[in-house]
Amino acid sequence: MDARTTPAPIINLPHLLGLRQRIGALLFSLACWLYFLIPVAILGGWLAGFRQLANEVVALGGWKRFQYLMDMSGHTILILLAAWLVWTVFLLLQPATKKAPAPMVDDTALAQFFGVSPQTLAECRECQVLTIHFDDDGAYRKLEPGR
């Protein structure tokens, strides 16, 4: 499969997601939260005395079944919190890696890299529009200073 024809899925860069991907991710996360929170809301309504939600508790299998579901929800939350805490502590204990700043490039080396004379490089810096041509593989082809 060619990488140029099928873009890779964007996972860790949400600002690069398309509108459909954002809406899909939002709807999926809302559905997951609703699936998780509906039993909690039913239990809260039942404890508050709402008759309709009390009937819902009976329809879900009674108090014992509902208590089992709530225990599972609580254990799930505790496991997620513990995993998050372990991951956070693990990242805090990792040594910080600082990248060394890139060395400064002088005008002669920059002009040599682009294959132009230092005068053309100076002209390119002064112009308001600069066109850089690339080939199909993304390699630099030529500089074209504008007006």
* Domain final residue, candidates 52, 67, 93: 93
Q: What is the spatial distance between Cα 66 and Cα 42, in angstroms, rounded to a whole number?
A: 10
Contact of 14 with 22, CB cutoff 8 Å: yes
In a domain, 4, yes or no: no
The predicted structure's pLDDT at residue 82:
96
In a domain, 1, yes or no: no
pTM of the model: 0.38
In a domain, 127, yes or no: yes
Cβ-Cβ contacts under 8 Å for 141 (sequence gap 6 or more): 133, 134, 135
Q: What is the spatial distance between Cα 117 and Cα 122, in angstroms, rounded to a whole number?
A: 9
Six-digit token pair at 18?
């398309």
- The parent domain of residue 47 ranges over 16-93
In a domain, 5, yes or no: no
Q: What is the spatial distance between Cα 77 and Cα 72, in angstroms, rounded to a whole number?
A: 9
The predicted structure's pLDDT at residue 147:
65
Count of domains observed in the chain: 2
Q: Write out pLDDT tens, residues 75-131.
A: 988 998 999 999 999 988 888 777 888 889 898 998 888 788 888 888 888 888 888
